[in-house]
Amino acid sequence: MASPAARKARSMLFRVDPDGVATQLWSSEDETVFSLAVPAEKEVYLGTGDLGKVRHLEEDGSASLVARLPAAQVTSLLVGADGALFAATSNAGGIYSLEKEVSESGTYLSPPKDASSLARWGQIGWIGEMPSGTREEMFTRSGNSAAPDNTRSEWSPAYVAAAGSKVVSPSARFIQWKARLSRESKGISPLLESVSLTYLPSNLPPKVEKIEIPRRPWSRTPRRRRCPNPRPFPKGPSSPILSPRSPASESSRGG
Sign of CA dihedral 177, 96, 53, 98: negative
pLDDT in tens, 23-80: 888 888 888 889 888 887 778 889 888 788 888 888 777 888 888 888 889 998 988 8
Distance of CA 232 to the CA centre of its chain: 76
This prediction has a pTM of 0.54
Whether residue 86 is found in the same domain as residue 150: no
Residue 25 covered by a domain: yes
How many domains does one find in the chain? 2
Determine the pLDDT at residue 92. 87
Q: What is the pLDDT of residue 141?
A: 96
69 and 121 part of one domain: no
12: in domain: yes
Handedness of CA 26, 30, 33, 39 (dihedral sign): negative
Same domain for 38 and 92, yes or no, is yes
Last-in-domain residue among 47, 65, 100: 100
pLDDT number for residue 224? 63
* pLDDT at res. 211: 87
- Give a yes or no: residue 196 inside a domain: yes
3-state secondary structure of 5: helix
**Enclosing domain of residue 185:** 108-201
Segment-wise mean pLDDT, segments of 10 residues, the chain, 255 residues:
57 86 86 86 83 84 82 88 84 83 82 92 94 93 88 94 96 95 86 93 81 73 63 59 52 48
Element (DSSP H or E) covering residue 110: none
- How far from 233 is each of 72, 236, 237, 238, CA to CA, in Å? 96, 10, 12, 11
